[in-house]
Structure 1
Amino acid sequence: MSKILIAEDEVLMLKALEFKLKKDGYQIDVAADGRQAMEKVKSNTYDLILTDIMMPFVGGMEILSYIKNDPVKKITPVILLSAVGLENIVLEGFALGAEDFVYKPFNLNELSVRIKRYIKQNVF
């Protein structure tokens, strides 16, 4: 069973993502802010990470940067979530190594297909 971390500070969004992805058969770990997410990333291994860009304490870009600069964790696919779609933010995310960028609000079924694709690509 693939393990996914969801880092999202909006409670309703976090619950919706958790419900959908558990229903899809994934093992889910959640973080309600960036500090929790960073602690979980440092002490666990995930098959994919979904992270909001703007969260309290530590932002999604900082989490992404940490993951992609770690020699072991850098293979973990990261999908950035954001209500802000400014070109410079999107480009920064891709430059740091994000696999995808999804704008809020989004379709949960579409996100589920993207997740499945990235996890499938990452299986060796």
Structure 2
Amino acid sequence: MKILVIDDSNVIRELIKHSLKDNDHSITYATDGSDAIEKIKNDTPFLVITDLMMPHVSGLELVTWIKENYNDQIKIIVLTALGEEDVVLEAFSLGIDDFITKPFDPKDLSLRIKRFEM
């Protein structure tokens, strides 16, 4: 499965990388939404895991762009900090498939990704 991980935090990207290392996934990383859009245009992933609060292009703007251009072809999991419930509700209204609250358990992330493999 091709996965694109978008987060402006190197720590979060490394945590996700570590939590997915034992799975057979092709993982690409982006540091913000504008970088992610270019990577999606060049090599469409099956799954996007994205932060919401990022510079340049926010996670909500990215979700909107993905849904406008790829409809349901790309699955989306949103990473969000505690206290951003209203933003998560907006993300669901835009069409995300799931969300994970930061800090997160790497096993939980793996289980949520496996759900898309079925």
**Counterpart residue number, 1:11:** 10
For 2:84 and 2:15, the matched residues in 1 are separated by 25
**What TM-score, normalized by structure 2, do the two folds share?**
0.91
* Alignment check: 8 A CA contact 2:80 2:88 kept: no
Could you say if the C-alpha distance between residues 108 and 29 of structure 1 is closer, same or farther in structure 2, counting changes exceeding 3 Å? same
Q: 5+ residue gaps in structure 2?
A: none
SS at 1:54 equivalent = coil
Could you say if the C-alpha distance between residues 67 and 119 of structure 1 is closer, same or farther in structure 2, counting changes exceeding 3 Å? farther
Cα RMSD of the aligned pairs, angstroms, is 1.4
1:84 Cα shift? 4.2
For 2:83 and 2:72, the matched residues in 1 are separated by 24
For 1:45 and 1:76, the matched residues in 2 are separated by 8
Query: How many matched pairs?
Result: 118
For 1:111 and 1:20, the matched residues in 2 are separated by 8
The answer to whether 1:88 aligns with 2:86 is yes
1:75 Cα shift? 2.1
The answer to whether 1:27 aligns with 2:26 is yes
**Counterpart amino acid of residue 97 in structure 1:** G
Identity of matched residues, %? 41
For 1:111 and 1:25, the matched residues in 2 are separated by 15
* Alignment check: 8 A CA contact 2:48 2:74 kept: yes
For 1:75-111, what per-residue CA distance to the aligned partner results, in whole angstroms no more than 9, with x for missing partners? 2110000114333211100000000111100100011
Q: 5+ residue gaps in structure 1?
A: none
For 1:82 and 1:3, the matched residues in 2 are separated by 22
